[in-house]
Every structure is written in structure tokens, then in C-alpha cells.
Structure 1
Amino acid sequence: MSRSQRLFDLLQLLRCHKFPVSAENLAGKLGVSVRTIYRDIATLQLQGADIEGESGLGYILKPSFDLPPMMFTVEELEALRLGAEWVAKQANGEFSEAVSNALAKISAVLPSGHQAKYNEDIVRVASIINIPQVMVELSEIKQAIKKEYKAEIIYIDAKKHTSTRVIWPMLIGLFDQYHVLVAWCETRQGFRNFRLDRIKAWQQVEQKYQRSRHDLLSEWQALEQISHKFYSY
């Protein structure tokens, strides 16, 4: 590994930590000595990287510091492409244009000699199965979630029972078979998952949740034993 690549990898490691990380930890991940980490940290600081900390206490990269955005490895670009292709084929193609634009921007700013420009993909995302038709516009649900507005829905459950409910929409999950809306249900006084294809009517209510979406998500994730790193919309 070249020194420039090691310095970049060190920055990436620091960027992944929200709290100070020890030189020993960094050295172990990069396969170098602790002394090398000390020297590299000093070099990065001289080059303008906003790194705080010192030996024995750990180091942290301030959030205000931006890394060059396109220093991806071929494997990282492959992962981004596969993820983008999967997203493009979800949600009735709602994100396909955004995906195409994003991939085009990445390709445009890659160095001319980057290996990814000449690699033929060897892994592809298969077409997803046909999911049940969704009657509600995904954009309306997303807008309600962003504004933390309630919604009144007409829902048909698995037993074909129809009910009208007021919910606090929180999160959309995209699955191969169907799409799910996670929400707090005022009728049931609890968190519920609603399949989007079973929502037959949607009306946004111009009324905010009684609690913040952040707090609701935290409580739901704790109940479901979901890692805090998991998020959809």
C-alpha cells in the first residue's frame, strides 16, 4: 500500500468514528505500527485535516472536514452500482431517474484512468418480482413523513377486514415482495406495519405528531431490536 493510499484510508477510518478512536485501534486496522499512525496523523494535520486528539486519548475527525468524494476503490464502486440498480427497480421505478443521474455524476468525475471505467460488471441485480399495485403515491407518504404529519387511511388487513385509522407515518421499508409503512396507529395505540398495497385511501391530516419522529423511531427500533444504523427513508 502506498503512503498516500494509507493516509486516505486513515482519514476514512476516522470519518467512520463519531467518538475518539485510539492509535492502537487504527494501527490494527491498517496493519501498521502505532508509531506510523502518530506520524500519519501529524502529516494529515499539517495538510489541513481537522483532527483532534493526542496519543493516549484517541483521535477524532471534525465533521466539518470534507474528504475528496470520488476516491472509491473498484469494489466500492461495484457495491454502489449494485445498490443503485436494486433501488432503481423498486417502488415502481420512482427512483430510477435519480439513480441514473447519480451514477452518471460519479462516472463523470472519476479519473480517466480509473479501473472502474474499463471493468465489465460481473454481478448484476435481477429484475424483481411483480409486487402488488400500490394505490397511494409514494411521494405523498414521504412528504407526510418529512413534515411529521398524521394521515387518515382506509386499510384492508390480511383477513380482508376494512378499517379507518389515523396513523403517524414514520418509515417506508422496501422489500422484494411488497412495500411496508411503519407507523404509530392511534386506533391500536401502538406501532404497526401497513402494507402499502392494502392502503386503499390516504388523506394527510394537517396535524403534527404528538411526539418527534426521531423519538418514535428510537422506541420502535428498541422494541424490534433493530440496530441504530438501520434506516430506510
Structure 2
Amino acid sequence: MSRSDRLFKLLQALRTLPAPVTASQLARETGVSLRSIYRDVESLRAAGAEIGGERGYGYCLVEDGTLPPQKFSRIEIEAIALGLAEVRQMGDPELAAAAASALGKVAATLPSLSQQHLLHAISQVHHFEARPPVATDMQLIRTACWREQALAIRYRDRTQQVTEREIWPLAIVYLEGMLVVLARCCLRKDFRIFRAERMLSVRISGDSFRPQRAALLRNYLAKLAPSAGP
């Protein structure tokens, strides 16, 4: 690991782990020795990051000099905290981890008082049911959406019939207790909703449908709108 990558990883650990973070915790998180942690903390301080604490007590990131300060109102901070908490509750594991990382990055750009407002927001999210289990590689599906690449899938429908088809993934929708992919089905030549837990296998086929995703998704959502409830 290069020194710059190591410093970035250490900075990210300071942003996301509950403070104060001991040098031993940081060493486990970044995979380096305690001596390297002590040296790298001093390097970050020299670069402008204001890191409180010391050996034997723990460290906390007071101000992150690598990111510009952000100004949010108290209600905006509540909205950010609530939104990211919802993603952590409902998202697949990769997305949930990304929400936790994003919270740390946002907090690092705020003045001290706003950091406290964000990390101790009064708006909370709680779901009594656990996140729906999904064996499908959601990161691969996200990548296909971003790159506008077709997916080859094996899919089991509600009648237990298994088919192989190519789809153009347009969006991932997190419903209560269900994760679905909005797509254009090349087999049916129409829009379809695919439940993630029914996807038995998924791979990127290599075919591109760029730059049609935004227009197709807009048309699909317009088609769904009349059937939506009040």
C-alpha cells in the first residue's frame, strides 16, 4: 500500500469510527503497525488535519483540512442524518456501508457544533423487520446501471418457472421488505420489475444500451404513475 493510500485510509477511519479512536483500533482498521499509526497521525496533522488526542488516550478528528467546511441548517442536518440512517437500515450491505462512510465524510466537513447535531440527531429510523436477505450481487447490478450495460440473468418467477433473459437495468428500488430492479426486458420487449431475491444468477453481458437509461427510466416511471395510489 502506498503512503498516500495509507494516509487516506487512516483519515477515513478517523472520520467514521466513534471517537476517541485508540491507536490499536486504527492499526487494526488500516492494517499497519502502531508505530506507523503514530507517524501517520503526525503527517496528517502537518498536512492540516486537526486531530485531537494523544497516545494512550485516543484520537478524534476535530477539523479535516482536506475538505471545505459546509454550512447546513439544523433541519437540514436532521434530514441528512435521517436519510443516511434509512439507507443503513434498508440498503444492501455495500450500500449500508457506503451510507456510514458518507456520514463520516459529511460530519468531517462541519463545524464542531454541527458535527454534534449530526451525530446526535433526534430523527431516528427503526425497522422491526430485518433487511430482506439478498443473495444477488447488487454491486454488479449498480455497476451495470451506471455503465448502461445489459445483464444476463436466470430468473425464477412467482410460478417457480426459471427463464434466462437479457435485461437493461434502469434503477434499483428499495421497497419495504423487498428489493426490486426496474428494467427493460429484451425477452418480453417491455418494461418489467424483477425481484432481486428471485435472480438466481447475474452477469454483465457486455452489450451496451447507452445513452438510453435516463429516457427509458423516465418513460417507465410515467407508465407506472397512473397505477400509483394517492
More helix per residue: 1 or 2? 2
TM-score normalized by the length of structure 2? 0.61
User: 1:183 Cα deviation (Å)?
Assistant: 0.5
Return the alpha-carbon distance in structure 1 between the equivalents of residues 117 and 222 of structure 2.
43
Q: Deviations over 1:36-87 (max 9, x none)?
A: xxxxxxxxxxxxxxxxxxxxxxxxxxxxxxxx87221111101110110110
Q: Point out the structure with max Rg over C-alpha.
A: 1
Equivalent runs, 1:148-167 vs 2, <5 Å: 148-167=148-167
Letter in 2 for 1:91: G
Assess, with a 3 A threshold, how the Cα gap between structure 1 residues 115 and 102 changes in structure 2: closer, same or farther: closer
Assess, with a 3 A threshold, how the Cα gap between structure 1 residues 144 and 197 changes in structure 2: closer, same or farther: same
TM-score normalized by the length of structure 1? 0.61
Unaligned runs of 5+ in 1: 1-67, 227-233
Equivalent runs, 1:184-199 vs 2, <5 Å: 184-199=184-199
Tell me the equivalent position of 2:7: none
Return the alpha-carbon distance in structure 2 between the equivalents of residues 188 and 114 of structure 1.
51
Give the match's secondary structure for 1:89: helix
Return the alpha-carbon distance in structure 2 between the equivalents of residues 140 and 118 of structure 1.
31
Contact 2:74 2:117 in 1 (8 A): no
Alignment length, in residue pairs?
Answer: 159
User: 1:119 Cα deviation (Å)?
Assistant: 8.6
Assess, with a 3 A threshold, how the Cα gap between structure 1 residues 172 and 118 changes in structure 2: closer, same or farther: closer
Equivalent runs, 1:1-233 vs 2, <5 Å: 70-114=70-114, 116-117=116-117, 120-127=120-127, 129-209=129-209, 212-225=212-225
Return the alpha-carbon distance in structure 1 between the equivalents of residues 224 and 209 of structure 2.
21
Assess, with a 3 A threshold, how the Cα gap between structure 1 residues 123 and 167 changes in structure 2: closer, same or farther: same
User: 1:211 Cα deviation (Å)?
Assistant: 6.2
The Cα RMSD (Å) is 2.5
Give the match's secondary structure for 2:112: coil
Letter in 2 for 1:194: F
Contact 2:108 2:115 in 1 (8 A): no
Give identity over the alignment, percent.
Answer: 30
Unaligned runs of 5+ in 2: 1-67
User: 1:151 Cα deviation (Å)?
Assistant: 1.4
